[in-house]
Amino acid sequence: MIILADDDADQRLSLKLALELAGYTVREAADGRQALALQRERASSVLITDIFMPESDGFEAIVAFRRDFPRTKIIAVSGGGQRAKVDYLSSATLMGVDATLQKPFDIEALLDTLRTLNS
């Protein structure tokens, strides 16, 4: 089971449909706080989280998942690039995510990443 956290409802829907067509069960969250609540309700093996979200961003979700659910695989995604010479996906890697993808990404790249993490 996958938790997909992204504040863009259209992005969430398109990714959810593609992942479900590939055989995955997906639950949606609009921010990191909702993702954490879903995980506490029923554990998922994978979190796919955008970095930039209102309320509770991807970095907050990464920290909380690593602290409370260290076995959950985390894929961080972002189209945000850099700010003050800090690469956000590199920062996510330093925080312990299992994989990163730069938006926009091909669904096959995401599916390959999931297969690698689950092997």
Where in the chain are the domains?
2-118
Residue 118's pLDDT band (boundaries 50, 70, 90)? confident
- Look at residue 62 in the predicted model and tell me its pLDDT: 98
49: tokens are: 């989280």
For the domain 2-118, what is the CATH code? 3.40.50.2300
Summarised one tens digit per residue, pLDDT across range 3-44 is 999 999 999 999 999 999 999 999 999 999 999 999 999 999
Average per-residue pLDDT for the chain: 93
Taking the model in full, what pTM does it have?
0.93
What gap in Å lies between CA 29 and CA 110, rounded to an integer?
Answer: 18
115: tokens are: 């297969």
Residue 60's pLDDT band (boundaries 50, 70, 90)? very high
Element (H, E) at 17: helix 9-21
The total of other beta-carbon atoms located within 10 Å of residue 94's CB is: 9
Over residues 104-108, the mean pLDDT reads 93
Q: 108 exposed, middle or buried (CB, 10 Å; 0-12, 13-18, 19+)?
A: exposed
